A = this chain, B = another copy of it.
Amino acid sequence: MAQRSEVAVCVDAVGGDHGPEEVLRGVAAAVADDEALTVILTGPDEIVTPFAAGKDRIVAHPTTEIIAMDEHPAAAVRSKKDSSIVVGCRLVKEGRADAFFSAGSTGAIMAAATLVMGRIKGIQRPAIGAVIPTGAEPVVLLDIGANADCKPENLLQFAHMGSAYAKVVLGLKSPRVGLLNIGEERTKGSLLAQEAHALMSAHVPGFVGNIEGRDVPFGAADVIVTDGFTGNVALKLLEGVSSSLLGQVKAALTETAFSRLTALAARPALTRLKLRLDPDTYGGAPLLGVDGICIIGHGSSNRAAVYAAIKGAARASRGGLRTAIADAVTLDR
């Protein structure tokens, strides 16, 4: 096996609802697992310095400020220049880290990354992608909320960015790219979807046409493109329905005394299924289109999610995600 190239991922030690311990455990696991990975930790001195002490590939980079989850993103990013988030983005911009991960305020991470790293040349609007677990292979869905109102050209760029991510991070050779829409024919859907369909037909390699909501969980495409409003509703609905349904399966299995026994027997199988459906398995959500690798974790990221996100960040960097996106977008001009 080829040796893995050196990569440095900067991690925000204080992002996430579970507190720094959970983040640091994820960091330790990721570093233990990859002999060419260094993690640079931003966050309060008293947290990052003792943790990094005596460890080979964990580097403390103390910062003095923290952006809280409820602060106004843009204002916080402008005023808190020595926050764990802003400094993390700066380390990437300056080439001192290859990627940045935080499970802090999504809005603040987006604002900081866009402001500090800038956008890849030609990209109009960065988008957030999510790798969603399905019954078939995982699917990249984007945008999941960075842009509530989109133009057709934005969706075209999302297609390129999602496809590049699927190649580099999921390892797909020729990702099949679909447009989330409300009918199969190209004349179906909103004006936005109709115009995006025309653009994607002309410019996106591997474009498979419209994907309806009911086909999303069945592997109809590897990358599914939509505006940030629809994508956010779809992602959260998927999470809600899965959680509600698994709860109902559990309840249905414990309706009678006999089925309570059944439920007990079924528990290992259902736990395996729940793990397979856990979005944490696939790491955080990449902010695609900024000029640097930036991965956003949800607030409730546990150590497993942090571990997976750092691995994803390393893979994105080693695989050349920035170049892949820049190259794909150039084709349209």
Contact B236 A233 (CB under 8 A): no
| Chain B residues near A246 (CB-CB < 8 A) | 245, 249
A259, B271: Cα distance in complex, Å: 13
Task: Answer yes or no: A240 CB below 8 A from chain B CBs.
Answer: yes
| Chain B residues near A149 (CB-CB < 8 A) | 190-191
Task: Answer yes or no: A202 CB below 8 A from chain B CBs.
Answer: no
Contact B190 A229 (CB under 8 A): yes
CB distance from A192 to the nearest CB of B (A): 8
Task: Answer yes or no: A116 CB below 8 A from chain B CBs.
Answer: no
Give the nearest-CB partner of A217 in chain B.
B244
A190, B226: Cα distance in complex, Å: 14
CB distance from A27 to the nearest CB of B (A): 28
Task: Answer yes or no: A135 CB below 8 A from chain B CBs.
Answer: yes
Task: Answer yes or no: A272 CB below 8 A from chain B CBs.
Answer: yes
Contact A213 B239 (CB under 8 A): yes
Question: Do A265 and B259 form a contact, CB below 8 Å, given A148-B189, A217-B241, A234-B237?
Answer: yes
A245, B270: Cα distance in complex, Å: 11
A119, B218: Cα distance in complex, Å: 39
Interface stretch of the complex, out of A79-87, A250-258, A281-289, A308-316: A250-258
CB distance from A173 to the nearest CB of B (A): 25
Copies in the complex: 2
Question: Do A252 and B272 form a contact, CB below 8 Å, given A229-B190, A259-B265, A266-B259?
Answer: yes
CB distance from A193 to the nearest CB of B (A): 7
Give the nearest-CB partner of A238 in chain B.
B241
Cβ contacts A to B, 21 pairs, < 8 Å: A135-B244, A145-B182, A148-B188, A180-B233, A182-B233, A182-B236, A190-B229, A213-B233, A213-B240, A214-B243, A215-B240, A217-B244, A241-B241, A248-B277, A249-B249, A252-B270, A253-B266, A255-B272, A256-B269, A259-B265, A259-B268
Which residues does A use to contact B, with CB under 8 Å? Answer: 134-135, 145, 148-149, 180, 182, 188-191, 193, 212-218, 226, 228-230, 232-249, 252-253, 255-256, 258-259, 261-263, 265-266, 268-270, 272-273, 276-277
19 more A-B residue pairs beyond the given contacts A248-B277, A261-B265, with a C-beta to C-beta distance below 8 A: A149-B191, A182-B232, A182-B236, A212-B236, A213-B234, A216-B241, A217-B244, A217-B245, A218-B240, A226-B233, A234-B237, A241-B241, A241-B242, A245-B246, A249-B273, A259-B265, A262-B266, A262-B269, A263-B266
